[in-house]
């Protein structure tokens, strides 16, 4: 039970369940850690280090901060692991953490990412440096326009960032993927409709909000088929019919890695606007044509005759 301290005080509850052979574990939201990496996702309670996948049922009793920020990521993990969840679904915004968990759960490559509760971050630099290498990226869980992202390479810099942020909603530590080119892919209705590439991307560029302005246009059909498939799968995994997908090819492994998926890509702003708008217009026409075909398919022969006459 998460955030169930009030129930923990009722001896009859725990003793009654124990008599039935049911073990009850009470943990606060600040006692969860989340790891996203090549081996998949793990969500653990940090008191005994037990994986939530090993529980038969997980219930949220109350929603104190930062519960809502984390719950959609936890819910997706439990669903994949087949663990029954109570009062968890449809809670929380599509945060950065949720996106990484969802993409990794669907088998897509994302940067190795660690979420730790705030009280565990203070002494975590050396462990994170071993797990993620240095420099690694420090970013907010929630993202958005106020989502600050920075590189840290030393313990002093890490400590400074923690003190400067004071973000109660949590932070992510993330591997810095060495890029062999950075791509911005517009996926519309499941199709890769627009592609732009930035060459010579460094760490600082990867941390910035994706820009279309100074990128080079790439014919979508000339993009590596694996990249096209990755972008389309990333959009579909998050349920986005319109998505801007930020991809990089890992310098050493050659694998395509998803850095971000946005449901609000800059179609009408930034560079190459005419090309993006043209792709969007084509998408809208497809959607309308498919709607017309579906509507026609539901008409009787008499209805079709009447429509033609009119």
Q: 114: which strand partners?
A: 35, 173
H or E stretch at 307: helix 301-309
Average pLDDT over residues 258-276: 89
pLDDT at 5: 79
Residues 262-274: b if buried by 16+ CB within 10 A, e if exposed: beebbbeebbbee
Whole-structure pTM value: 0.88
Q: 37: which strand partners?
A: 40
What is the tens place of the pLDDT at every residue in 111-167? 999 999 988 999 999 999 999 999 999 998 987 545 578 899 999 999 999 988 876
What is the tens place of the pLDDT at every residue in 225-251? 999 999 999 999 999 999 999 999 988
What is the tens place of the pLDDT at every residue in 66-107? 888 899 999 999 999 999 998 887 666 789 999 999 999 999
Report the side by side order of strands in the sheet with 113-116. 40-45, 32-37, 113-116, 171-174, 136-140, 149-152
Find, among 250, 261, 198, the residue nearest to 226 by Cα: 250
pLDDT of 8 above 50: yes
């Amino acid at each position: 039970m998460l955030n169930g301290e009030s129930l923990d005080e009722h001896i009859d509850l725990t003793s009654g369940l124990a008599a039935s052979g049911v073990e009850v574990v009470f943990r606060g939201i600040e006692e969860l850690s989340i790891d996203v990496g090549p081996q998949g996702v793990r969500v653990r309670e940090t008191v005994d280090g037990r994986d939530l996948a090993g529980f038969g049922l997980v219930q949220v009793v109350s929603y104190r901060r930062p519960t809502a920020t984390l719950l959609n990521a936890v819910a997706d993990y439990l669903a994949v692991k087949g663990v029954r969840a109570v009062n968890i679904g449809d809670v929380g915004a599509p945060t950065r953490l949720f996106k990484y968990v969802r993409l990794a759960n669907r088998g897509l490559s994302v940067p190795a990412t660690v979420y730790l509760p705030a009280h565990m971050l203070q002494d975590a630099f050396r462990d994170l440096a071993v797990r993620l290498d240095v420099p690694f990226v420090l970013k907010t869980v929630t993202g958005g326009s106020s989502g600050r992202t920075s590189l840290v390479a030393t313990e002093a810099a890490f400590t400074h960032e923690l003190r400067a942020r004071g973000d109660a909603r949590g932070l992510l530590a993330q591997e810095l993927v060495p890029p062999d080119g950075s791509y911005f892919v517009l996926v519309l209705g499941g199709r890769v409709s627009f592609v732009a590439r930035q060459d010579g991307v460094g760490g600082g560029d990867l941390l910035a909000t994706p820009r279309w302005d100074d990128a080079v246009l790439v014919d979508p059909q000339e993009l590596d088929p694996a990249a096209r498939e990755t972008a389309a799968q990333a959009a579909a995994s998050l349920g986005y019919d319109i998505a801007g997908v930020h991809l990089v090819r890992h310098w050493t492994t050659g694998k395509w890695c998803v850095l971000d998926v946005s449901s609000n890509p800059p179609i009408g702003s930034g560079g190459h606007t005419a090309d993006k708008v043209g792709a969007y217009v084509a998408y809208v026409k497809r959607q309308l044509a498919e709607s017309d075909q579906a509507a026609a398919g539901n008409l009787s022969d008499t209805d079709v005759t009447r429509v033609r006459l009119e």
